[in-house]
Homo-oligomer: A and B are copies of this chain.
């Protein structure tokens, strides 16, 4: 496994890959690698000749007061896991390499980024799209892999790729869950045992809500069910529970065109998100998300969007 920390090295590596006619998959991460990340890596290894992973805790997607300084960075452990899977390249730059002196350029996806998580984290997605664009420019991968746990992020990145004519396929992989249902996240380690227990309300309420959707159910009813269940946990502070269109993220009044049920809940200092995609016609097509990740080779992507027109 090759490892580099500069744009120039990463660029040279990816130029060499293209010159040799190989396809390349890119998996952008902030490190603290867990099974969710590994499922993206496995999907890339399966689909592409070469796989690059970026590890970069991106300061521009954190607001002052968020957990930038405490974000876990177990780099050696991460590298070992990626090496064991057969990753070809890890790019882990320092902040000054990504944001040099007089750095001034930002990419904004309007509309999609001011709702849901963008409401409580107004600069977050600007940081995400900017750093993802930079990594895309450096590697020019054929495909890039993102987890559906950050559902809004996948929508925003796909819009950026379409709008800016980036010739990259964005692959979205299912949420990987702990055996008890909690969506995997590098931030789960912040939870106290009590918070960890009560945090199960997120996935449980989504699973229950999903099972109750019929052609006649209204989104408000579903929302109320989730809200009641999560509110019953004394440590839970709800940021939002929203039922939205899967592409536009606008509110929906029924489930006819499908929907995403997305929620963000704060436990102490830890903000957790989870979501559930409802397919058009109210067939909960992603219900396999609610089986625990038992295999080390989980199913890869469910949503495939080729952003080229």
Using a CB–CB distance below 8 Å, which chain A residues touch chain B? 7-8, 11, 100, 102-112, 129-130, 133-134, 137-138, 140, 159-160, 162-167, 248, 308-309
Contacts and interface: CB of A to CB of B under 8 A. Distances in A.
B167 A11 contact: yes
B105 A109 contact: yes
Contact of A166 (B104, B129, B137): B137
28 contacts: A7-B165, A7-B309, A8-B308, A8-B309, A11-B165, A11-B167, A100-B309, A102-B159, A104-B110, A104-B111, A104-B163, A105-B108, A105-B110, A105-B159, A105-B160, A105-B163, A106-B107, A106-B108, A106-B110, A107-B107, A107-B108, A130-B164, A134-B163, A134-B165, A137-B164, A137-B165, A137-B166, A137-B167
Contacts of A7: 165, 308-309
A102 B248 contact: yes
Given A160-B105, A248-B102, A309-B7, A138 B165 contact: yes
Nearest to A167: B11
Contacts of A166: 137
B104 A107 contact: no
Contacts of A102: 159, 248
Contacts of A106: 107-108, 110
Nearest to A160: B105
A125 B165 CA distance: 19
- The secondary structure that dominates the A interface is mixed
Contacts of A134: 163-165
A138 B164 CA distance: 9
Contacts of A108: 105-108
A128 to B, nearest CB: 13
Given A11-B167, A108-B108, A137-B167, 17 more contacts: A8-B308, A8-B309, A100-B162, A102-B248, A104-B111, A105-B107, A105-B110, A105-B129, A105-B163, A105-B164, A106-B108, A107-B164, A130-B164, A133-B164, A134-B164, A137-B165, A140-B140
A60 to B, nearest CB: 11
Contacts of A110: 104-106
A280 to B, nearest CB: 19
A160 B107 CA distance: 10
A33 B100 CA distance: 37
A109 B100 contact: no
Contacts of A164: 105, 107, 130, 133-134, 137
A133 B130 CA distance: 13
Contacts of A105: 107-110, 129, 159-160, 163-164
A298 to B, nearest CB: 31
A102 B249 CA distance: 12
Nearest to A99: B163
A169 to B, nearest CB: 14
